[in-house]
Amino acid sequence: MEKDLFSAIKRMVSEKDVKGLSMLALSETDRAAVDAAITALARVGNDEAVDELISFLSVEDAYLRNEAIEALQLLGARAFDRVAALLKWEKPDLRIFALNALKEMKDLRLRGLIRHVLEVETDPNVASLAVECLSEVGSGEDVVLLEAVARRFPDPYVRFAVDAARRRLE
């Protein structure tokens, strides 16, 4: 990454130029520059920066999407409510990206949120990831919910995820 670009990113952080950092992340082809722009957005960390990071979850570029997920994870509680709201998105892939960000936030509200997702989710892939998340933050009392999920989704992968989670929680 060139020195001028690094200086520009540093300036944009000090000025809280979220749009500039976002445009840089979207337009750069150098992964180091993309990393720096995404990290800078996380460093700014205000609501506008969180919204920009969330907007990257919809892009086709998997690298940019994954970097945004990691940045949202680092923001933790500052991003939790906004990312949790994404679980109402229509597209299952976007709900999966939201769960991937949330599961690393280690927020005390995560267990209740995951339980709610498992009660209402209609997509087996999202449900499987939510089962995995619950296995990390749940307890033995969540086994009943997990079994209900397995009955609702007769998918072998969901059954596998439920069995693995149950073993972990019991």
Within 10 Å of residue 73's Cβ, how many Cβ atoms?
Answer: 18
The answer as to whether 39 is a domain residue is yes
The answer as to whether 64 is a domain residue is yes
Structural contact between residues 9 and 21, judged by C-beta atoms closer than 8 angstroms = yes
What's the predicted TM-score (pTM) here? 0.90
The answer as to whether 2 is a domain residue is yes
The answer as to whether 89 is a domain residue is no
The answer as to whether 140 is a domain residue is no
- How much is the average pLDDT of 37-60? 97
The answer as to whether 55 is a domain residue is yes
**Domain of 40, in residue numbers:** 1-77
Measured over the CA atoms of residue 146, residue 148, residue 149 and residue 151, the dihedral's sign is positive
Q: How many domains does the chain have?
A: 1
Structural contact between residues 100 and 93, judged by C-beta atoms closer than 8 angstroms = no
The answer as to whether 135 is a domain residue is no
- pLDDT tens-digit map of 68-123: 999 999 999 999 999 999 999 999 999 999 999 999 998 899 999 999 999 999 99
The answer as to whether 62 is a domain residue is yes
CATH number at residue 38: 1.25.10.10
Summary mean pLDDT of the chain:
95
Rounded alpha-carbon distances, angstroms, from residue 124 to 18, 21, 46, 100: 36, 36, 34, 15
